[in-house]
């Protein structure tokens, strides 16, 4: 089994690259999907979030008010750190389980916090997907229907492109001018080279 880790900030286009790599045979483990699953009603992570942040971040149906909590944590790095301390352990455990249960020879972990969560230790190779700030802003605003300020807060709460690159084996710039399939081909060829 070969495990590839892909990381990068919000709006850099990781999901689009991962979708192309899935067509090339990768089994995708999406940490954002797992992050949503672990905060489902009655899950231990949600209980911890309620304990730390308060009942006002829980909807009347027992689900997490993601929008309200997002506004808080992306505007306050200390609050984001508290949330990360709660969720990372559950995310890492779930990803490890998925890798152990997987029958595919090619596994891809899509994780914006790959290194912060210690997930690079599960990977044979890591790649940072980067994009210019203005491109990322437009993508986030379009994708999530948020204001420019909210999009800026998300970007500012994350590592900068250079920091993502410093942690990874190589970097690919997704500025919107290169076909996503070509980016995926480039990454796939790198993996094939590592597998030889």
CA angle 109, 114, 118 (to 5 degrees): 110
pLDDT surpasses 80 at 196: no
CB 7 within 8 A of CB 115: yes
Residues 6+ apart with CB under 8 A from 155: 9, 10, 11, 133, 136, 137, 140
Domains present along the chain, CATH in parentheses: 2-195 (3.40.50.300)
Q: What is the DSSP string of 142-177?
A: HHH---HHHHHHHHHTS--HHHHHHHSSEEEE--SS
CA dihedral 119→122→128→129, nearest 10 degrees, is -90
Strand (E) or helix (H) holding 129 = strand 125-130
CB 88 within 8 A of CB 157: no
Q: What is the pLDDT of residue 136?
A: 95
Whole-model pTM?
0.86
d(CA 12, CA 144): 14
Reported as a single tens digit per residue, the pLDDT across 79-90 is 999 999 999 999
Average pLDDT over residues 67-88: 91
Q: What is the pLDDT of residue 12?
A: 95
Bridge pairing between strands 106-110 and 27-30: parallel
Q: What is the pLDDT of residue 178?
A: 87
Q: What is the mean pLDDT of the chain?
A: 93
Average pLDDT over residues 98-107: 92
Q: What is the pLDDT of residue 113?
A: 85
Per-residue confidence at 176, pLDDT binned at 50, 70, 90?
confident
Strand (E) or helix (H) holding 2 = strand 2-7
Q: What is the pLDDT of residue 140?
A: 94
Reported as a single tens digit per residue, the pLDDT across 112-170 is 889 888 899 999 999 999 999 999 999 999 999 999 999 999 899 888 999 999 999 99
Phi and psi, residue 148, nearest 5°: -60, -40
d(CA 129, CA 113): 12
Q: What is the pLDDT of residue 25?
A: 94
């Amino acid at each position: 089994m070969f495990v590839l880790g892909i990381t990068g900030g919000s709006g850099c286009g990781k999901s689009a690259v991962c979708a192309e790599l899935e067509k090339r045979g990768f089994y995708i483990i999406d940490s954002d999907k797992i992050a949503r699953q672990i905060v489902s009603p009655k899950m231990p992570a949600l209980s911890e979030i309620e304990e730390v942040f308060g009942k006002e971040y829980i909807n009347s149906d027992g689900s997490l008010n993601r929008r309200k909590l997002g506004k808080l944590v992306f505007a306050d790095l200390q609050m984001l750190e508290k949330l990360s301390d709660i969720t990372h352990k559950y995310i890492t455990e779930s990803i490890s389980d998925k890798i152990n249960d997987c029958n595919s020879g090619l596994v891809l972990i899509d994780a914006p916090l790959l290194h912060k969560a210690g997930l690079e230790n599960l990977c044979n190779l890591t790649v940072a997907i980067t994009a210019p700030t203005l491109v990322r802003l437009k993508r986030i605003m379009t994708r999530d229907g948020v204001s420019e300020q909210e999009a800026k807060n998300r970007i500012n709460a994350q590592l900068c492109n250079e920091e993502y690159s410093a942690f990874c084996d190589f970097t690919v710039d997704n500025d919107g001018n290169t076909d996503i399939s070509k980016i995926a081909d480039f990454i796939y060829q790198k993996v094939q080279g590592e597998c030889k």
